[in-house]
Structure 1
Amino acid sequence: MAALDLHAHRDPAPPRARPRALSVGAGRSRLSPIPPDGRGLNPLLEDTGMITHPIALYLGFTGFTVPFAFAIAALATGRLSDTWIALTRRWTITAWYFLSLGLLIGGWWSYHVLGWGGYWAWDPVENAAFMPWLTGTAFLHSVMIQERRRMLKLWNISLVILTFSLTLFGTFLTRSGVIASVHAFTQGSIGIMFLGFLALVVLLALCLLAWRWDALRGQGELDSVVSRESAFLLNNVMLVAAAFTVFFGTVFPLLSEAVRGVKVSVGAPFFNAVNVPLFLGLIFLMGVGPLIAWRRASPDNLRRNFVGPILIGIAAAAIFYFVGVRSTLAILTLSLTVFVAATIGLDFWRATRARLRTGESVVRATTGLLARHNRRYGGFVVHLGILVIAVGVTGSQAWSVQTETTLKVGEAANIGGYNVRFDRLEAAEESNHAKIVGTFTVGGTRRPAVMQPSKKYYPQEMSPIAGVDYWIGLKEDLYLVLGDFTRDGQQATVKIQVNRLVSVIWIGGFILTLGTLLSVMPERRKAA
């Protein structure tokens, strides 16, 4: 650290000049002329998460090319059996997984780099990856109906076409420059080419669908609304409705600006108001779909499979209320996750118990079950990962606390059981930027510790960039962001957040990974 010589954050001098005022090195200026080949990489993207995040999304986007190509080939040749679904199942699961991984890594990057303390903002580029994830998820569920009942052939091919088209649309949003986002590229001529290619793909696919319309009619019929087919179909309707909602909210500002010349903002309140009820319904169906009977569920089937889990879910809701949870949405979400976990546990216990009765050990029965039915139980593990993510999202939204306060040297703020004392400001210089570092001593933990959020000044940037400091724990994270400060370094504003259960989201992503790996493994067939 060098001796402190600060401009105030509100200093009227141009932002580009501020780093020069920091006495952070032996005469080295951070304001050398910008090179003629550009401003360089956005400093926000100089993070290890950006090594894997774009690659994961790229693999997800391009991975859906395989089922799309097979679907188009089936339409073109008239070979409309289920063969193409079986051949592309692992490709589809793998593409879906990489989209999931890309979304999770993007959330982690947003959380620990951008300095706002969140992981999802319904940013247009986030939405661009989320839409094909939703329709791809719908396809993975609906193909099971086609394989089992020869139903939904037209619907499944339509979902594949829609998913691939949304990957192209997402690429168009990112590369065309029509949206403003830290993820997006600047405007260029490539956008119109992507839009033209997207229109060509959709037109060709619709023509092929119209040509094979009669041949794509399913051979089976829906026997009852109380059946697994109905549960999966309702699951599909909700997923596609969520995708349409996200699509509408993403493109509406663009359409409004193009038609009326007024850019309307569509933010998180809209997306949450529409999608949260849909997601709650999807969580409920995660528990119902795998256990309800095919064709028609009898009262005995419903009673045997769901009375116990429903009672466990109700008991969980009562426990959450009595331990102090007062948010209706939080209680409903958490009790639904308990209900779904109970249905998964019930199914796994019954299958394991049946093998134990043949004389197998617990370990052999469990591993044998997973090896022979890895597709089913891999899906269950993925569902558990989604449930854990839902718990993390619920906890972070319901119980996180934050404050933004101005402290003088030696003063402290208390929040969430932590005591955060402001010690000093110092100037420092890195290889490609200068920075102001705030030092804070944190009490309320097992032993006092030091956190050092900063403000970074890059020569090519007009505004400083937050350097977040945080502690990560299973129960909660402590998150500090340095704000304004005075010229003499005796006073600074700091945003302090105690973010509850955010780490649970990343744990859910790890569980989802395990489930995906189990799902794509070859099933072990029983010896003849």
Structure 2
Amino acid sequence: MYFSDLGIIALILALGFALYTVIASILGAMRSAPPLVASAKRSLLAVTFFLLLASAALVISFLRHDFGVNYVAEHSSLSMAWYFVTAAFYGGQEGSLLYWALVLSLFSALFVVTSKRAPSAFVPYVMATLMGIESFFLLMLATLSNPFVRSAVAPKDGAGLNPLLMDPGMLVHPPMLLMGYMSFSLPFAFAVAALITGRLNAEWLRSIRRWMLAAWTLQTAGLLLGAWWAYHVLGWGGYWGWDPVENAALLPWLTATAFLHSTMVQERRGMLKVWNLFLVIASFALSIFGTFEVRSGLISSVHSFAYSDIGAYFFGFLAVVLLFSSALFFFRLPALRAEQEFDSVVSREGVFLLNNLLLVGMTFAILWGTLFPLISASFRGQTMTMGPPFYNQVVAPMIVLLVLAMGIGPLLAWRRTSLTALWRNISTPAILAALCALVLPVLGITDVAANIGFTVCTFTAGAILYEIWRGARVRHRHGESYPRAVYMLFQRYRQRYGGYIVHLGLVFLVAGIIGSHYFQQQQDATLKPGQDMNVAGYRLTYLGNIDEKDSDKETISAQVQIWRDGKLQSYVYPGRVIYSNYPDQPTSVIEIKTFVATDVYVYLADWQGAAQATIRVFINPLVPFVWWGGLLMILGGILCWWPTRRRLATAVRPRTVVEKESVKEKPEQVADGGVIA
């Protein structure tokens, strides 16, 4: 008996238990039968066990080099290192679907273990929804996309992994992004449970928040790792190319970000109930759309798998999700009326609404650009694509407005804020922004769009740091040192101050995008040993090529020196790797050296023996800000998600700037500081 046989049996059993969980959960809820619900919980855990067993069977098949399994033969070879052999588990369509289903089962099991924290009426419907999704994936795995299918004759060696995936980024980026896609299932399941039970008050928002924060953080990490992988592997000097699959991964992140802001308005004012449910459903639907897009082959992308029939089934599943959730949504629409109305545009909820409109506007623009090839082919008979200029022109202004709103929002009170109080609160960050606008031309930065972007980033960073300083000063006045005061702020009010960290990270990220987009410099030169090229104050000296041959690959590296101000800064060895299994797909070895906040990006474009090479150099200012900002966003997301200890009744509560002013004007306008994520 092969391990692949065990894997097939495990998939079939997992499918059976998933279907039973759906039925038992629904019947248990409808009949108010706790034993049935308990049975459904145990059945769900059985699904997790069998998917772990199936996944282990596939990994063992890879490690044993069982090339009789078609999937193993197509994505691994004898010469691959064991960690790449293991990572090949999710290197193709079948394995990635199994990984998706496995992680969904693990998250579902985590929900069952922690279900005492959720409203009891929600639990069976959440389980039924999760296992309904799981059943679809298991049905695909057991039939159309089975990773355990065997061939009649096993080859002596496999084809090996795609050379572009033979990189450490392969070990972290795909599983993190797939986990991000999957994690939107949990908030969606809570939304379905709330719609079915009719319990649409703030209770379901409290239940869903931590799951949505976890999904948002995972998707943020997946996007950041994807950008990092592209930057270090592909050799084009950038980290985001507006590829359709990249766009699809960004879409649910945008709607989830909008939801995390608008939930505060519903909890505080009883408004935006319809909007919040729409955003949860949209986030899950867009995650399924992203999974469908990679597997349908309908939209051309360097990330897509080859066309397969499974794409049509994913489209059908997406249609069922939209029809089912829309029917529930409209059925409960009368119960979703707002409890209050907006009092003033100059208020915290007004800025949150603007924030949401910008995020959804970006979502629509990116979705439109992604689907435009299909739309143009259907109506005009020719395929037309939207390139990066379209996205940059449409999305960039909205990002700048979003960053500005992030800075103003925390400085406003709920309901309304007087213009006098508003100016008093924003004066300090406004002065910092004005100084930035004056200094930038002196530094030689004269591009109007870049100056506006940097000025807005300065304003928002100043507003965030000013708020943190104000909170620390309140605690300092009660006897705490400033370091202790800052620590206690983050310890006791993680959602608010974790949100500030997220915002600060986004400011860094946007500043990095502006710097690298507007001020990147590129130069190519064909050099012989001893010759130089000069780019933006850096001198690169080419010394010759090094050719190294192994059993499964050949590596050609150019030896280059980097000089700055007459001093040798570093040796770099940009190269190309040619794998014997893929001789027509040489991969790049990119050399990136960071000097303060500027990357010197060196790429071997071409070579001739040991005596000549074409070197391509990019000078990328502020790209490190992208990675620092992304890490801050992930850290802030974890802080928001991390459970807080129960507050002491005598705890010092630091008020924000706007709270200080609001107390003077009208007590009921005091802001309470929610999740600013």
> Fold-level match, TM-score > 0.5?
yes
Q: Which has the higher helix share?
A: 2
Q: 1:38 to 1:207 in 2, by over 3 A?
A: farther
Deviation at residue 145 of structure 1 after TM alignment:
0.2
Deviates more, 1:472-481 or 1:223-232: 472-481
| Equivalent residue number for residue 469 of structure 1 | 591
- Specify the alignment match of 1:516 in structure 2: 637
Aligned to 1:398: 518
Write the mapping of 1:328-343 to structure 2, written as runs, cut at 5 A: 328-343=448-463
Question: Quick one: which of 546, 570, 573 aligns to 1:449?
Answer: 570
The answer for the alignment partner of 2:538 in structure 1 is 418
The answer to whether the 8 A contact 2:555-2:577 is kept is: yes
Match of 1:239 in 2: 359
1:81 aligns with 2:201: yes
1:287 equivalent to 2:416? Answer: no
Matched, 1:497 2:608: no
Distance 1:285 1:354, change over 3 A: same
- Any conservation in 2 of the 1:474–1:504 contact (CA below 8 Å)? no
1:172 aligns with 2:292: yes
Which aligned pairs between 1:102-141 and structure 2 lie closer than 5 A? 102-141=222-261
> How big is the shift at 1:106?
0.5
Structure 1 residues 371-406: Cα deviation after superposition (integer angstroms, max 9, x where no partner): 221111110011011111111111112222110111
- % same residue: 44
Higher deviation after alignment, 339-348 or 112-121:
339-348
1:431–1:184 CA distance, 2 compared to 1 (3 A): farther
Q: 1:175, 1:184 within 8 Å by CA — same for their partners in 2?
A: yes
- The alignment status of 1:65 with 2:185, answered yes or no, reads yes
For residues 423 and 362 of structure 1, do their structure 2 counterparts lie closer, same or farther at Cα, with a shift above 3 Å needed?
A: closer
Measured after TM superposition, the shift of residue 68 of structure 1 is: 0.7
Label 1:500 to 1:56 Cα distance change in 2 as closer, same or farther (>3 A). same
- Which amino acid is 2:467 matched to? D
Shift of 1:286: 0.3
- Which shows bigger deviation, 276-285 or 248-257? 248-257
Deviates more, 1:421-430 or 1:199-208: 421-430
Report SS of the residue matched to 2:582. coil
Given that 2:559 and 2:573 are in contact with CA atoms closer than 8 Å, whether structure 1 keeps it comes out as yes
2:384 counterpart SS class: coil
Task: Say whether the 8 Å CA contact 2:220–2:634 is kept in structure 1.
Answer: no
Give the whole-Å Cα distance in 2 for the aligned partners of 1:474 and 1:74: 51
| 2:291 alignment partner AA | T
Listed as ranges, the matches of 1:244-255 within 5 Å are 244-255=364-375
Task: Tell me the distance in 2 between the aligned counterparts of 1:290 and 1:56.
Answer: 31
AA paired with 1:257? A
Task: Give 1:254 deviation, angstroms.
Answer: 2.3
Contact 1:227 1:292 in 2 (8 A): yes
Does the residue aligned with 2:568 lie in a helix, a strand or coil? coil
Aligned residue identity for 1:511: L
Is the 1:128–1:169 Cα contact (8 Å) retained in structure 2? Answer: yes
Q: CA deviation at 1:102?
A: 0.6
**Structure 1 residues 469 and 350 mapped into 2: Cα distance closer, same or farther (>3 Å)?**
closer
Give TM-score, length-normalised by structure 2. Answer: 0.70
Q: How far does the alpha carbon of each residue in 1:309-330 deviate from its partner, in whole angstroms, 9 at most, with x for none?
A: 2122111111112222111122
The one-letter amino acid paired with 2:510 is: A
In the aligned structure 1, how far is the partner of 2:501 from the partner of 2:533?
42
Q: What are structure 1's unaligned runs of at least 5 residues?
A: 1-33
How far does residue 38 in structure 1 lie from its aligned partner after superposition? 6.4
Match runs of 1:6-45 below 5 Å: 39-45=159-165
One-letter amino acid of the structure 2 residue matched with residue 370 of structure 1: F
By how many angstroms is 1:301 displaced?
Answer: 2.1
CA deviations over 1:148-188 (Å, ceiling 9, x no partner): 00000010000000010000000001122223333221111
Say if 1:498 and 1:209 are closer, same or farther in 2 by CA, change over 3 A.
Answer: same
Partner-residue secondary structure (3-state), 1:420: strand
Whole-angstrom distance in 2 between the partners of 1:353 and 1:484: 59
Q: CA RMSD in A?
A: 1.9
1:378 maps onto 2:498 in alignment: yes
Task: Tell me by how many angstroms 1:428 deviates.
Answer: 1.9
Higher RCO, 1 vs 2 (CA within 8 Å, ≥6 residues apart): 1
1:473–1:503 Cα contact (<8 Å) kept: no
Partner in structure 2 of residue 481 of structure 1: 603
1:185 equivalent in alignment to 2:305: yes
1:222 corresponds, among 326, 330, 342, to 342
Q: Secondary structure at the match of 1:516?
A: helix
Aligned counterpart, 1:527: 648
Q: Does 1:327 align with 2:447?
A: yes
CA distance in structure 1 between the partners assigned to 2:277 and 2:323 by the alignment: 15
Question: Could you tell me how far apart the structure 2 residues matched to 1:253 and 1:430 are?
Answer: 43
In structure 2, the gaps of 5 or more residues are: 1-153, 650-677
Q: 2:319: which partner in 1?
A: 199
Could you say what secondary structure the match of 1:231 adopts? helix
- Aligned-pair distance for 1:259? 4.2
| 2:520 maps to amino acid | S
Deviation per residue, 1:233-263 (Å, 9 max, x gap): 0110010010011101111112323444422
Task: For residue 36 of structure 1, report the CA deviation from its aligned partner.
Answer: 8.7
